[in-house]
Structures are given as structure tokens and as C-alpha cells.
Amino acid sequence: MPEKIKEQGERTKLVQVEPIPKKTELKKETMKKQEFKRPLRCNLRNDELLKYGEEMVDTQAEVTEFEESLSSIKMEYKAKIDQHVARINVLSGVIRAKAEVRAVDCVRWFDYSRKRVFESRIDTDEIINERDISVEETQGVLKLND
């Protein structure tokens, strides 16, 4: 009779095993029958191979479509993230500087007696620039007597 080896921790034990009888050797009169299902290897027919092949091709096409969609979605969200990161960088600079550049209403004063031009903010009257008057700026002024 064949022997089977069973492992027990670090020890091995030899056990005598009865051979599996062939179906023709079974005595059905003295036996009880019980039907059940068990997963076993089955060779596929050609029509089954064709069916599975078609399903695989369709599934692969769907995977490719999903990957393309994923790539597109990733690019879309990357652009959104990049946009927000750029805004964060701008805000970070503004907060660090505790100021930002804005378009402010200003006024330019021409002082012809001193030959100077003054620029000031309308909201605070702060003088933001002072310079010499240019030749072009002096040409436009003529006083006419009535």
C-alpha cells in the first residue's frame, strides 16, 4: 500500500493510506449515494473558447476606454489643481508682503512756477511721485489775455 507523509510541527509521521478504488470496483448495494458539486478542471469546447475570447476582447476594449477616460480626467483635475496652486502662491506672496498692487485713482499736478510735476493718490492725498516737468508738458500752456 502507498504511504503518505503527514507533517506535525517538526516531526513527520508515515501513515498507511488505502488506494482509491476504481468506479467499477464499487459495490453500490452496500453504499449510500450523495450528490454534490465540487470545482474541478473541465476542458473547454471550441464554442466556449470562442465565447470567452469574444468576452475577453470586449472587456479589454472597455478597459482601454476606462484608461483613456481616467487619463482625461487626471489631466482635467491636474489643471484644476495647478490653477489652485498658482492662486495659493499669489495669495502667499500678498500675505507675506502684507500689501498688493491695485489700480488706484491718482491725480497729476503741474507746478509751472517750480517746473515740477507731482502725482498723488486721490484716496489719501499721498504724493507718490515727483519729477521735473518735461519740455512737451510746458508747450501746451499759453495764457491769453481777454
What digits encode the pLDDT tens for the residues 111-142? 999 999 999 999 999 999 999 999 988 886 55
Judge whether residue 29 has pLDDT over 80.
no
What predicted TM-score, i.e. pTM, was given to this entire model? 0.46
Q: 53-64, pLDDT tens digit by residue?
A: 999 999 999 999
| Pairing relationship of beta strands 11-16 and 3-8 according to DSSP bridges | antiparallel
Judge whether residue 87 has pLDDT over 70.
yes
Give the span between the Cα atoms of 62 and 66, in whole angstroms: 6
| Residue found under cell 476542458 | 43
Give the span between the Cα atoms of 75 and 27, in whole angstroms: 71
Query: CB neighbours of 127 closer than 8 A, spacing ≥ 6?
Result: 118, 119, 120
Judge whether residue 51 has pLDDT over 70.
yes
> Which of 131, 133, 140, 128 has the alpha carbon at shortest distance from 112?
133
